[in-house]
Amino acid sequence: MAAIGPLSYSSSRTYLECPLRWKFLYVDRLPEVPRGYFTFGRVVHSVLEALVRPYVVPATRRTPEGESQRTLDEWGARGAVGGGRPPLTREELLALYDRSWLSDGYVSPEEEERYRTLGRDLLLRYYQRLVREPPRPVSVEEHLQAEWEGIPIHGYVDRIDRTPDGGLEVVDYKTSRELSREDARGSDQLSLYQVLVESNYAEPVERLTLYHLRSLTPHRSPPRSPESLQDLNARLGTVVDGIRAEAFEPTPGPQCARCDFRSRCPEFREVASEESGRLRTLVDRFESLRQEEHRLESELRRTAEEMHRAAEDLGVHRLPGTRGVAVRRKEESWQYPATAVRPLLEAAGLGERFGTGGTEEIRRLLRDPHVPAELRRRLSETGSRRVRWYWELDDGGAAA
Ligand code: SF4
């Protein structure tokens, strides 16, 4: 049985998309090829963390003993940033951005420069907004863990803000091109963060927000309902069960396009060249046999139907051939729909006799003299008879 650590949003999403890819990442610990847009996101996140962290004021935390000490009132309304001045000047912010820059994963110097310019522009506009409207975070880039109905979970939450009503707002920054309110409403990541924050903080989560950095737009949604969280918990339960059972089958899909492990995956792995000639012959043979099989099946069906029509016209069951005789056989079966049978039995106080509702059980009831005759008649009326004709070859033992 595979050991299982706390599940993060991205780990559970990976497992649900493809268990084998999850194994490559989290069991075999294979590295992924760096990608420029991920590097870019990491750099922007780290600069935002440094910019916003000085605004943090503590909030009431859940502890094993109850709730922790410090509250916003004790700390003062504006936290550590005094006099309304931002913690960094504009120039310090740009210098920090330059120092934090990483070049991993960009496909060309031009692409790297495009991202670098985008990040500078985005951070400067964010900075102006921050000066005008100072945030009220209670934490930034916080690593939270919880046990959620038996499932250990964890995650790094970009920001948790105080709402005007004294509740909490979970904020996740997004550097992606497009983002909508619908994304916030449907985000499993925000749902998981809601659970993490509610497990660690005393105040209620009042908003879940995806913050679109390119347009400085917060896409907000109300907290998730207990039903919707239950649905997510059930999906995480599937992940935990699968990992514990070491169920790591490949599941091909759109995610394969960005999977770095195709050369190891049975769905994509190339066959060694010395084997490929022999295998190609085998696969080609299989393919032509399959086609022949389909052709023969439909020809057999057409011939049997024609023989059946001839037998009907002649009123016989045996048709002579050169090497034997074809014998027509009849197979009868009865169907009793459960939706009709069950209410009849229940009304007669015999609901427990329904069993699995199979045809044989109903036929037994119809033969049972202890079942009232009227009920047997009505049960019998729910049935419909099916007749199937088929042919057997009688070759007089020649085949043996
Ligand atoms: S290539 Fe596709 S099926 Fe194979 S491991 Fe990667 S995601 Fe899974």
User: What domains lie within the chain, and their CATH numbers?
Assistant: 9-252 (3.90.320)
| Whole-model pTM over 0.85 | no
**pLDDT one-digit tens code per residue, 222-268:** 999 999 999 999 999 999 999 999 999 999 999 999 999 999 999 99
What's the DSSP call for residue 87? S
pLDDT of residue 69 exceeding 60? no
- Rounded-to-integer distance, Cα 39 and Cα 34, Å: 7
What distance lies between CA 5 and its chain's CA centroid? 19
User: CA-CA distance, 95 to 87, in Å (whole number)?
Assistant: 14
Name 109's Cβ contacts closer than 8 Å, sequence gap at least 6: none
Residue 386 carries which side chain, given as an amino acid letter? Answer: R
Q: Evaluate: CB of 267 within 6 angstroms of ligand 1.
A: yes
Any ligand 1 atom below 6 A from CB of 18: yes
pLDDT at 83 over 60: no
Distance between CA 190 and CA 224 in Å, rounded? 9
210 pLDDT band, cuts 50/70/90, is very high
pLDDT at position 3 is: 62
The overall average pLDDT reported for the chain is 90
Q: How many helices (H) and strands (E) does the chain have?
A: 13, 10
Burial of 390 (0-12, 13-18, 19+ CB in 10 A): exposed
Cβ atoms within 10 Å of 61's Cβ, excluding its own: 15
Query: What is the C-alpha separation between 183 and 303, in angstroms, rounded?
Result: 58
- Alpha-carbon distance of 227 to 332, in angstroms, equals 48
Centre of ligand 1 to C-alpha 251, Å, is: 6
Q: Is 378 exposed, middle or buried (0-12, 13-18, 19+ CB in 10 A)?
A: middle
Helix (H) or strand (E) holding 235: helix 226-244
If you measure from the C-alpha of residue 284 to the centroid of ligand 1, how many angstroms do you get, rounded to a whole number?
A: 26
SS3 assignment, position 266: coil
Centroid of ligand 1 to alpha carbon of 37 (angstroms): 21
